[in-house]
Amino acid sequence: MTIFSNDALIGEHILITGATGGIGYEAAKEAVRTGAHITITGRNEEKLESLKEECNKLNSEVEVFVGPADINSEDDRKQLVQNAKESIGPITGLVNSAGIGGGAPLEDLTEDQLRKPMELNYFSTVLLTQEVYKDMKEQRRGSIVNLSSLSGLRGTHSNIAYSSSKFAVIGFTQSLAIEAIEYNVRVNAICPGFVDTSMGRQAIANIGKREGRSYEKQRQISEEALPSGRISTPEEVARSIVYLLTDACENIVGESLKISGGGVMR
């Protein structure tokens, strides 16, 4: 389903991290449908090239730059931003969708399990944004969308590491939003619940394992608990991301857009 005009993001250059994952992958496709040039990054170059082919088929008039990178690496972050600007031009939009899950109850939580989500979901998000924001601030133009989660708004069982990292993303989003709007740069967050991606399905499977249920049974229970009766699709999340990138929401600043199927209403 297409809900935007094909020129909603025309002339924009959007950098999308985590583009080999379900949400980032669909966000890239939705962005080119609306006329944006994009830089896509992730660690799997083969998947990035496949995504580029799909994007070129959707819109042959936009540029798609593939920039494989490990955004945990300072050198990779700097090189990615530099190469993107040299290839397409100034970056006017940033989608921080790279992230990992994982969790355990406190007594079973290892230091590595605690550090990994925080490193990628929070620290790398902040540090990459720092690289991109400098130019946005100078240009007095830009939009940043951070992928948080419903787990960044309330805690859940055996989810300390992931939830803490996503709470941190919300704090970053709100604080930077106040700084950035002075320079006409908008910063917002997307907070989906379970999404039908490999990461979302694994999260459901983990709950099922803890409760002694199959994945299929746990998914049924999780979906029946939602007023909408189903979990979200990556395409739905991608459309919400693109909405926040467009000038249709010029006065939406520092918000956390929930996509919960009615499961979280406050």
Q: Which residues are known to be catalytic?
A: 148, 162, 166
CA distance 11 to 141: 12
CA distance 142 to 92: 5
CA distance 121 to 44: 18
∠ Cα 109 113 118 (to 5°): 120
Calculated CA dihedral for residues 23, 26, 30, 35, nearest 10 degrees: 100
Q: Are 194 and 208 in contact (CB under 8 A)?
A: no
Helix/strand/coil for 180: helix
∠ Cα 190 192 197 (to 5°): 120
b/e per residue, 166-191, with b = 16+ CB within 10 A? bbbbbebbbebbeebeeeebbbbbbb
Among candidate residues 36, 41, 47, the one with its CA nearest the CA of residue 17: 41
CA distance 146 to 125: 8
Helix/strand/coil for 188: strand
Give Dmax over CA atoms of the chain in angstroms: 54
